[in-house]
C-alpha cells in the first residue's frame, strides 16, 4: 500500500485499523466513499457496535471543477494536515482532530463530523447559528495572530512560511478570483440574463485598479498563515459547535483574505434571500441575522486580536502609540476588498455557490445575482475608506438595495 494510488474501500478500512486506540481490535468496520470525486476521496468508516467512526480524506492527483479537469499536486494533503494540526494547537475545539497523516498516500485520518452540517446548507435552510460568530471570530483571531510576526518568533515564522509555500493552489485563487472575472476568460461561467453585468466588469478600469491592488496584496503580503479558502462550504456547524475544515489552500497571505471570505459568503446568502425568504418580513429578519453575524464576528475577531496583541506580542516596537489601530484598520480595509472580490467571482467566475445557483425562480435568481454583484463592486471600490464594521455593513445594505 506504500505507493500512491486511490484507496479501495478495503484498503481504507485496513488503514483505519492502524489508528491507535480508536476502534476495538475485533471491530467489524464498514466503509462508504462520500466525496464528490472532484478533488479528493472521502471515506467514512464506522463501527456500528461501538458507535465509533473516522474520516479518511485522500487527495486525488487532479482537480475537477464544473467539467474542467487539471493535474493538482498531492502535496496539498501535507499542507492540509499540517495546517489542521497547527490550527488545532490554537483552537482545538474549532477544527477536526487529526489522527494520522500518511504522506505517500496523501491520506489524512481525522475526526468524523457527521453530526454537523455544512454551514452553507444550514444557511440555505435559513437556520440560525448564534454561536457561530463567536467561534469563527476566535478562530480568525487566534490562527492569524499566532502565526503572524506579532504572535510568534519571527525567525520561526519565516521557516513556517517556507513549509506553506503553495504555488498550485494559490494559482487557482489568483486566476479565478483576481483575474478571470475581469476579462472575457474561458473559465467564466454566468447566466446569459446577466451578460450585461459581466461585460461591464470586463471594461471597468477603475474597478480593475482596486482589484490589482488586492491581487498584489494576495501575491506579496505574507502576514499570517491563512486557511485560504474559508467559505461557508468549509465550515461544519451545529447549534453549539463550529468546525473549520479543508485548509488545503493554506499559505502565508494577508489576514483580511480569510475574514473577507467568511463575510463574502454570508453576504452571498444575504443576496440569495431574494429567492428563499417566503415574505418580505422574513427576508428582512434573516438578512438582519446575517448582518448581525458579520458585525459580531468582526467584533469578536478585533477584540481577541487586540487582547492577544496586548498580552502576547513578540514585537516590541509595535506597541508604539497608534500602530495597533492602524494595523487593525488595514485589516478591515483588506477584509472589505477581499469580501467584494469573493462575491463577484461566485457570480460570474468558474465556481458558484449553491445559495444562489439553486434558487428555483429565475427572476429571483437573477435579482440575487445582481444584488451580489452590486455589493461586491461597492465593497471593492470603497474598501480603502472603510473605518468600521458598521460602515462595511452599511455599504452592503445600501448597494444591496440598488442604493
- Residues at the contact surface with its own copies, assessed by CB under 8 A: 149, 154-156, 158-159, 161-162, 165-168, 170-171, 174, 178-179, 182-183, 205-206, 208-209, 211-213, 215-216, 219-223, 315-318, 320-323, 326-327
Q: Which is nearer to its own copies, 322 or 360 (CB)?
A: 322
Q: Which is nearer to its own copies, 26 or 206 (CB)?
A: 206
Q: Are 353 and 123 in contact (CB under 8 A)?
A: no
Q: How far is the CB of 101 from its own copies (least distance, A)?
A: 21
| CA angle 224–230–232, rounded 5-degree value | 160
Q: How far is the CB of 315 from its own copies (least distance, A)?
A: 8
Q: 231: how many CB neighbours lie within 10 A of its CB?
A: 20
CA–CA distance, 396 with 344 (Å, rounded to integer): 13
Q: Which is nearer to its own copies, 67 or 322 (CB)?
A: 322
Q: Which is nearer to its own copies, 302 or 366 (CB)?
A: 302
Q: How far is the CB of 88 from its own copies (least distance, A)?
A: 25
Question: Residue 172 has which C-alpha cell?
Answer: 487557482
Cβ neighbours for 287, distance < 8 A, ≥ 6 positions apart:
270, 273
Q: 66, 67, 119, 124: which is closest to 356 by C-alpha? A: 124
Q: How far is the CB of 321 from its own copies (least distance, A)?
A: 5
Please, is 160 exposed, middle or buried when counting C-beta atoms within 10 Å of its C-beta (0-12, 13-18, 19+)?
middle
Q: Which is nearer to its own copies, 157 or 352 (CB)?
A: 157
| CA angle 121–180–402, rounded 5-degree value | 60
Q: Which is nearer to its own copies, 166 or 336 (CB)?
A: 166
CA–CA distance, 31 with 44 (Å, rounded to integer): 6
Q: How far is the CB of 168 from its own copies (least distance, A)?
A: 7
Q: How far is the CB of 207 from its own copies (least distance, A)?
A: 8
Amino acid at each position: 500500500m506504500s505507493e500512491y494510488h486511490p484507496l479501495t474501500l478495503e484498503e481504507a478500512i485496513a488503514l483505519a485499523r492502524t489508528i491507535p486506540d480508536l476502534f476495538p481490535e475485533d471491530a467489524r468496520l464498514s466503509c462508504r466513499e462520500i466525496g464528490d470525486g472532484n478533488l479528493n476521496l472521502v471515506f467514512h468508516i464506522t463501527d456500528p457496535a461501538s458507535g465509533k467512526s473516522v474520516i479518511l480524506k485522500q487527495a486525488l492527483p487532479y482537480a475537477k471543477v464544473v467539467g474542467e479537469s487539471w493535474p493538482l499536486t498531492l502535496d496539498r494533503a501535507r499542507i492540509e494536515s499540517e495546517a489542521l494540526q497547527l490550527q488545532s494547537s490554537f483552537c482545538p475545539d474549532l477544527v477536526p482532530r487529526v489522527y494520522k497523516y500518511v504522506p505517500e498516500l496523501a491520506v489524512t485520518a481525522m475526526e468524523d463530523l457527521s453530526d454537523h452540517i455544512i454551514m452553507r446548507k444550514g444557511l440555505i435552510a435559513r437556520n440560525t447559528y448564534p454561536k457561530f460568530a463567536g467561534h469563527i471570530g476566535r478562530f480568525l483571531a487566534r490562527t492569524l495572530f499566532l502565526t503572524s510576526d506579532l504572535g510568534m518568533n519571527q525567525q520561526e515564522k519565516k521557516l513556517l512560511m517556507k513549509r506553506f509555500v503553495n504555488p498550485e493552489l494559490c494559482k487557482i485563487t489568483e486566476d479565478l478570483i483576481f483575474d478571470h472575472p475581469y476579462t472575457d476568460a474561458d473559465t467564466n461561467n454566468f447566466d446569459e440574463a446577466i451578460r450585461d453585468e459581466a461585460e461591464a466588469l470586463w471594461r471597468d478600469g477603475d474597478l480593475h485598479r482596486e482589484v490589482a491592488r488586492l491581487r498584489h496584496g494576495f501575491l506579496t503580503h505574507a502576514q499570517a498563515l491563512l486557511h485560504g479558502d474559508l467559505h461557508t462550504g468549509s465550515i461544519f456547524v451545529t447549534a453549539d459547535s463550529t468546525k473549520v475544515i479543508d485548509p488545503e489552500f493554506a499559505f502565508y497571505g494577508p489576514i483580511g483574505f480569510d475574514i473577507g471570505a467568511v463575510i463574502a459568503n454570508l453576504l452571498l446568502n444575504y443576496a440569495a434571500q431574494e429567492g428563499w425568504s417566503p415574505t418580505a418580513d422574513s427576508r428582512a429578519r434573516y438578512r438582519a441575522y446575517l448582518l448581525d453575524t458579520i458585525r459580531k464576528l468582526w467584533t469578536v475577531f478585533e477584540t481577541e486580536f487586540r487582547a492577544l496583541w496586548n498580552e502576547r506580542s513578540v514585537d516590541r516596537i509595535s506597541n508604539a502609540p497608534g500602530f495597533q489601530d492602524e494595523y487593525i484598520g488595514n485589516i478591515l480595509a483588506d477584509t472589505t476588498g477581499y469580501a467584494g472580490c469573493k462575491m463577484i467571482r461566485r457570480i460570474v467566475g468558474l465556481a458558484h455557490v449553491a445559495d444562489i445557483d439553486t434558487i428555483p425562480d429565475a427572476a429571483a435568481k437573477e435579482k440575487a445575482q445582481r444584488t451580489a454583484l452590486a455589493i461586491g463592486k461597492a465593497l471593492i471600490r470603497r474598501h480603502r475608506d472603510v473605518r468600521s464594521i458598521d460602515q462595511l455593513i452599511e455599504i452592503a445594505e445600501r448597494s444591496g438595495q440598488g442604493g
